[in-house]
Amino acid sequence: MLWSNKNTNENPASPLEENRVGFALLNLFHIIIIPRIAPTLLTEQGTMKFYGYNKCGTCRKAQKFLDGKNVKYQSIDITETPPPKTVLKKALKSRELKKLFNTSGVQYKELNIKDKLKGMTEAQALDLLASNGRLVKRPIAVDGDRVTVGFDEAEYKKVWLLPGGGTG
């Protein structure tokens, strides 16, 4: 019985009525609650680290996307705390080294990285990126083995929201 009314002489709810109430509550749970909490389930592995820059339009678009999907993340200023080499190495698994550089950035151009990159080893390039967040393409989002560089909505949906990469 869901509730009792001891102060009156009314008959208690029949099992059929209790089942209807139970099913109604279950339906409400599936319709209202689950869609709101499902996107946050992706962070069960750990909390996503989001390396971005608040003056970067691309970073703001990515954060707006994540916020709209209720994805939890730890925001890290990439200019103050660049991603460590371990994160950069994970990012290298799915893209070439040059794609980790912010090629449109002022420092990339001022330091003439385009020409210097040709003579660098991978380790030297990763050391440079890990030491200067203004050279790193942003944003970088990482959680466990999942990493995205830059913001592409389709990639974010695939990596951070769909089964195998998160929730859908």
- Beta carbons within 10 angstroms of residue 138's beta carbon: 24
CB within 8 Å of 114: residues ≥ 6 apart: 103, 108
C-alpha to C-alpha distance for 148 and 71, rounded to whole angstroms: 14
Confidence check: pLDDT of 162 > 80: no
> What are the domain boundaries of the chain?
39-161
Give the Å distances, CA to CA, from 134 to 59, 79, 97, 168: 13, 5, 16, 33
Region 53-64 average pLDDT: 97
Region 8-29 average pLDDT: 58
Q: Which is nearest to 66 in space by CA: 164, 144, 139?
A: 139
Buried b / exposed e over 88-108, threshold 16 CB at 10 Å, is bebbbeeeebeebbbeebeeb
CA dihedral over 29, 31, 37, 41, signed as positive or negative: positive
Length of the chain (residues):
168
Its CATH class, for the domain covering 39-161, is alpha beta
The side-by-side arrangement of strands in the sheet containing 48-52 is 73-77, 48-52, 140-143, 146-149
Q: How confident is the model at residue 137 (pLDDT cuts 50, 70, 90)?
A: very high
- pLDDT digits 0-9 by tens, 67-119: 999 999 999 999 999 999 999 999 999 899 999 999 999 999 999 999 999 99
| pTM, two decimal places | 0.70
Mean pLDDT score of the chain: 82
**What is the DSSP pairing of strand 48-52 with strand 140-143?**
antiparallel
- For residue 47, the model assigns a pLDDT of 85
Region 24-44 average pLDDT: 48
